[in-house]
Amino acid sequence: MRQFESLHQRLVEVGPHGLSQQVLFLLLRWLSVIYGLIVRLRSLAFNVGLRTVYHTRIPVVAIGNLAVGGTGKTPMVDLLLRYAQQKDLRAAVVSRGYGGSFQGEVGIVSLGEGPLLSADEAGDEPCLLARRNPQAVVLVAAKRRLAIEYIERHNCADLIILDDAFQHRQVARDLNLLLVDTRKPFGNGLLLPAGILREPPSAVSRADLICLTGEPAAENSYTWDKPAVRVRNFLANELISLQGEKCSFTDIAGKKVVAFAGIARPERFFLALEKKGVVLQERLALGDHVVYDQQTIQKIIAEAANADLLLTTEKDAVKLSARSLPCPCFSAGLEICIEEESTFFSHLDRVIGRNHHMPLAKELLEILACPKCKGEVSLQQVDSAEELVCSTCHLAYPIRDGIPVMLIDEAETVES
């Protein structure tokens, strides 16, 4: 699998060399055309209202990207969780749980007291977020609407963070954060599988705020029509062993170090270690979301035969056991810094301030009735606000501070 990923990366970043690669790349381009047609039809269905969108009264912030690969989504989610805690808000993360074995409707990774599911079950990123933020609620669900309904029923969050959800349009969001790698924002400009794009560049228009990650390349001259902030990811100074022991990069100076990583861009991790002054004996690049089976562990053991210690990423560390490795293994976490803090947090604060109130429970909706005809009412979006609408009387009753105002004098007439 890693060999195929390397070949795909070369085709996308460098282009095909030789007849066999040119034939393969031509096939990939045809597949990209088919994939692009599906993506555009799906987007059109949402734009014209043919696909339903779930609305919640809890503020929702979505984080995602246009391209596959690492752009720093997990550190961004971690930042939002810490910010919510500073604001005394209960935050919940809803993730797809990619790479995990969980098959149910909603997987409870954490309910605010640390991880309840393993990385093998929930996926490495949700488990990492639960470990770094034990006060947070972390859920995994293939249908993220089901996780949000769980949050609403149990009233366990004041803010919902949708991880890797820019393309997940089935759930409405109040703030759409798009992370873009400034080194090559759109890769070779092609959609998957001939390129790295999940959607065409025009999808940037759905973003409320663009977060520019990575070191900007001099040749890139992209201009953004949306507000943008620069984000820097860097390795924390503290290293943590699989047993929980802590040390610094200074403490490992002069050690024989072997580094391994199962992330989208392992070479960036290795380079960051070298910038910290670590001299690497060996570098072992594994596939993204790698499963640490016996074969993979044996590969690490072979590379670490003469090593004093191993270094890996936090995402990899949550899937490892110290008992299976021949020498101490430490993980290096990522920290995040936003250069235009005022712009970033003003967008976030507007969302929190505008929507921070209790959700309208489903049980309440079931017993409410139109005071005029005694018929059923439904929760609908009317002129950018949620109201309770009676389809028989064509009346919309307002909701103020989370409380339905079921008075005929307060209702407005809506078109049929």
CATH number at residue 372: 2.20.25.10
Local confidence band at 382 (pLDDT 50, 70, 90 cut-offs) = low
Same domain, 213 and 150: yes
For the cut 90, the answer to whether the pLDDT of residue 381 exceeds it is no
- The larger pLDDT score, comparing residue 222 to residue 98, is at 98
Report the domain count for the chain: 4
Q: What is the pLDDT of residue 362?
A: 67
Asked whether residue 99 falls in the same domain as residue 161, the answer is yes
Co-location of 11 and 43 in the same domain: yes
Residues 375-398, mean pLDDT to the nearest whole number: 83
The values of phi and psi at residue 173, to 5°, are -135, 155
Same domain as 405, residue 275: no
Q: Is residue 287 part of a domain?
A: yes
In a domain, 139, yes or no: yes
Q: Are residues 377 and 315 in the same domain?
A: no
- Which domain covers residue 279, as residue numbers? 236-336
In a domain, 74, yes or no: yes
Q: What is the pLDDT of residue 254?
A: 93
Q: What is the pLDDT of residue 115?
A: 86
Q: How far apart are CA 365 and CA 40, in angstroms?
A: 35
222 and 73 in one domain? yes
Tell whether 253 is covered by a domain.
Answer: yes
**Same domain, yes or no: 375 and 390:** yes
Q: Is residue 123 part of a domain?
A: yes
The model's pLDDT over 316-348, given as tens digits with 9 standing for 90+, comes to 999 998 778 999 999 999 999 999 999 999 999
Q: pLDDT tier at 2 (50, 70, 90 boundaries)?
A: low
Statement: residue 364 has pLDDT above 90:
no
Residues 216 and 254 in one domain: no
Q: Are 6 and 122 part of one and the same domain?
A: no
**pLDDT value at residue 220:** 59
Q: Per-residue pLDDT tens for 253-305?
A: 999 999 999 998 899 999 999 999 999 999 999 988 899 999 999 999 999 99
The two beta strands, 385-390 and 257-261, are unpaired
How far apart are the C-alpha atoms of 54 and 171, rounded to whole Å?
5
Please tell me the least confidently modeled range out of 92-106, 137-151, 155-169, 379-393.
379-393
CATH number at residue 131: 3.40.50
30 and 145 part of one domain:
no
- Where would I find the beta strands (DSSP E) of 273-339? 280-285, 309-313, 329-338
pLDDT of residue 74 exceeding 60: yes
- Which of 59-73, 86-100, 123-137, 349-363 is the least confident region? 349-363
What are the angstrom distances between the C-alpha of 413 and each of 127, 376, 387, 397?
48, 16, 12, 9
Per cent of the chain over pLDDT 70 is 94
Same domain for 378 and 346: no
Whether residue 222 sits in one domain with residue 80: yes
Band of residue 356 on the pLDDT scale cut at 50, 70, 90:
very low
Residue-wise pLDDT tens digits, 192-240: 999 999 999 999 999 999 999 987 665 556 788 999 999 999 999 999 9
